[in-house]
Amino acid sequence: VLDAQGAMTTQRVRVDTPYPCPPARFLSEVDNLCTELPRSQRVSVGFPGMLREGKVLHVPSLSRLEYGGPQDPGLAARWHGYPLSDKLAELFSVPTKVVNDADMQGCAVAKGEGFEFVMTLGTGVGTALFNEGLLLPHLELSHGAFRKKLSTDLALGNAARKRIGKKKWRKRVVEAINWFDQMLFYDTIYIGGGNAKHLDDEALPDNAQIVPNSAGITGGVRVWELSTE
């Protein structure tokens, strides 16, 4: 729970993602999680997928029967088109905003100075774009072909980091940063997520900044100001 300035007023509560996790189970887990927290006046939700007008278009991490497994067509179909914003608003009974989790993290760190790019490194790779402080519509930039027909989501994800080792993984991250820059010509890139701590600051470009993973929570206040949806 955050105050109006974005400071945490309670300890963070977390649970492991259950698998499989269809929409009904997701709502149940969120409901159980919130019973440990005091009542709030509004709710911000960072969701690991693509949403449009509050409905789920694509959510790779929750479309698997087990962690790291292949996507299950049946589970993916149950998520596609699911009215997540409406369902969560019904659950919480307070104003609720649902955005991509990388967008949420970006809202905590974007400074409103030119064109800013956010890349989160965790189970996969998330991205967010800001122009003069305004959160732009979400794009799944990490799912495009990157190297040897692998997307950045697969090439830099946690499974790849464990498989190839930290040294090679770091080089891939720098390669991906340069690859994104050739497409986006951003002024600043912010790198967050749970695996950002494994990077070498000195190997990153001058316009790159590593940001704390807690931004994924603290962005829940500013998202109401910066989001256009």
Contact 114, 188 (CB under 8 A): yes
Structural domain of 138: 102-226
**Domain count within the chain:** 2
Residue 53 per-residue DSSP state? T
Contact 51, 25 (CB under 8 A): no
What is the signed CA dihedral for 174, 175, 177, 183, rounded to 10 degrees? 170
**Distance between the two ends of the chain, CA-based, in angstroms?**
22
Angle at 136 between CA 204 and CA 227, to 5 degrees: 110
pTM: 0.91
- Give yes or no: residues 81 and 113 share one domain: no
Query: 69, 99, 129: which is the final residue of a domain?
Result: 99
pLDDT per position as a tens digit, 119-146: 999 989 999 999 999 999 999 999 989 9
Which mean pLDDT values do the consecutive 10-residue runs of the chain (229 residues) have?
Answer: 88 90 97 90 95 94 88 97 98 96 95 98 95 94 90 93 97 98 98 96 96 89 85
Q: Is residue 12 part of a domain?
A: no
